[in-house]
Amino acid sequence: MSSGNVLEMRQLFAGYGSGGDILRGVDLQIEEGDFMCLIGPNGAGKSTLLRTISGLVKPRQGSIQFRGQEIGGLRPDRVFRLGLAHVPQGRSTFPDMSVWENVLMGAYTLHDRRIRQERLEQACAMFPIVERQRNKVAGLLSGGEQKQVEMARATMTGARMILLDEPTLGLEPRASRTVVEKMQELNASGVTILLVEQNARTGLAASRTGCVMELGRIKLQGHGPTLLQDPEVKRLYLGQGGTMTAPRPPTGQVVA
C-alpha cells in the first residue's frame, strides 16, 4: 500500500507437499525499520510463514511483496540476493567451516571486493565474536555464539530485512540476552526485523510491534509492549490473566 511498508503479504496460503494449508490467508504489513515479533501457539504457522517469505516453501495463493517487488515463489537465493535474509530455527552455521568462512558465505553472491570488505568490517564491529574467533571451527562455538555468527552472516548481503526464527531457543539466559541485544542493535542500524518467538514475554518486550498468529492467520496486531497488556494475549500466551510482573521495558537502544 504505502511506500513505508517493506514487506506486505496479502491472503497468503501455503502448506507442505499434498498436506492441507498451514497458512490460511495471512495479511500482514511490516513497516521499514520495524522490529516485529510474531507469537502464537505451536502449529500456528509462524515458521512456515518465515519459510514462505524466504522462498523455502512455495505459496499456494496470495502475494508477498518485498519493497514493492513480488517475491512469492522466488528461489531462496533470489530472495536472499534482494536483501531479505532468513536465520532459521536451530543451528544453521556450517559446522566444519571456520567462523570467518561462515561469515564469508553470506557474501557469496557479492562480487565487489570493496563492498565485501566494508560489510565485513561492519559485521566485525557489530559482532566482535567474528574477529575474536575467526579461525575457530564454527561447530565448536556455543549456541549463542553460533547464533551471532549466523546473524553476522545474514548482514553480509547488506540485508534490509532479517527474519529470525526463535533465535534464543535452547540458549542459556545470558546468551539469549546477548542475542536479543544484537537484534536491537541491528534494528537500530536500520534493518527491519521479523522475529518469531516462543517466549512471548521476551519477544514482545524487545520489539516495537507484535502480532499474534493462530491457525494460519494473523489474529491481533499492535504495539509490542501494549500487546503484552492485552487480556487475551495474557491469558493465552503469558499464562494466566492474574497479576504478573511488569515486563522489562525495552533495553536502551545501543547505536552500533
Partner 1 sequence: MTGAAALQRWWPWVPLLVLVLLPVGIRETFYLDLLMTTFMYAAITLGWDIMGGYAGYVSLGTVGFYGLGSYAGALLLLRFNIPVFVSAPFIGVLCSLVGAGLGWIALRTRAAAFVIVTLTFTSIVQLLALNLKGLTNGSSGLYMPLLTLPNNLILLPFYYYMLALLVFAYFVSRAIRGSKFGLGLIAIREEEEKAEGLGVDTSLYKILAFAISVFFACVAGALRAQYLNYVDPDIAFDLFITLSPIVMALVGGRGTLIGPLLGAFLVQPLSQYLVFLLPSSVAGQLHLVALGVVLLLVVLFMPDGIVNAYRSARAGGSGWRGRRQTAPPAEAAP
Q: Which one of residues 4, 11, 27, 90 is an interface residue with partner 1 (CB under 8 A)?
A: 90
Instruction: Determine if 45 is a binding residue for partner 1 (CB under 8 A).
Output: yes
Contact range with partner 1 by CB under 8 A, out of 82-90, 222-230, 231-239, 243-251:
82-90
Instruction: Determine if 44 is a binding residue for partner 1 (CB under 8 A).
Output: yes
Provide CB contacts within 8 A for 129, sequence distance 6+. Answer: 99, 141, 145, 148, 149, 152
Instruction: Determine if 204 is a binding residue for partner 1 (CB under 8 A).
Output: no
Measured from the CB atom, the residue of 111 and 231 that comes closer to partner 1 is 111
Least distance CB 31 / partner 1 (angstroms): 25
**Environment class of 117 (CB within 10 Å of its CB; exposed 0-12, middle 13-18, buried 19+):** exposed
CA angle (105, 31, 251) in 5-degree steps: 75
- Tell me which residues in 138-197 interact with partner 1 (CB under 8 A): 139-140, 153, 165
Measured from the CB atom, the residue of 100 and 127 that comes closer to partner 1 is 100
Which residue reads 535474509 in cell numbers? 85
Instruction: Determine if 112 is a binding residue for partner 1 (CB under 8 A).
Output: no
Measured from the CB atom, the residue of 160 and 208 that comes closer to partner 1 is 160
Provide CB contacts within 8 A for 42, sequence distance 6+. Answer: none
Instruction: Determine if 215 is a binding residue for partner 1 (CB under 8 A).
Output: no
Provide CB contacts within 8 A for 246, sequence distance 6+. Answer: none
How many Cα atoms occupy the beta-carbon half-sphere of 43 within 13 Å? 2
Contact range with partner 1 by CB under 8 A, out of 1-9, 29-37, 93-101, 246-254:
93-101
Among 215, 212, 232, 234, CA closest to 223 = 212
Residue 235, C-alpha cell as written in the block: 491469558
Instruction: Determine if 77 is a binding residue for partner 1 (CB under 8 A).
Output: yes
Among 28, 23, 24, CA closest to 9 = 28
Least distance CB 46 / partner 1 (angstroms): 7
Least distance CB 90 / partner 1 (angstroms): 5
Instruction: Determine if 48 is a binding residue for partner 1 (CB under 8 A).
Output: yes
Cα gap 222→105, rounded to integer Å? 36
> Where do contacts with partner 1 occur on this chain (CB under 8 A)?
16, 22, 42-48, 54-56, 75-77, 80-81, 86, 88-92, 94-97, 101, 104-106, 108-109, 137, 139-140, 153, 165
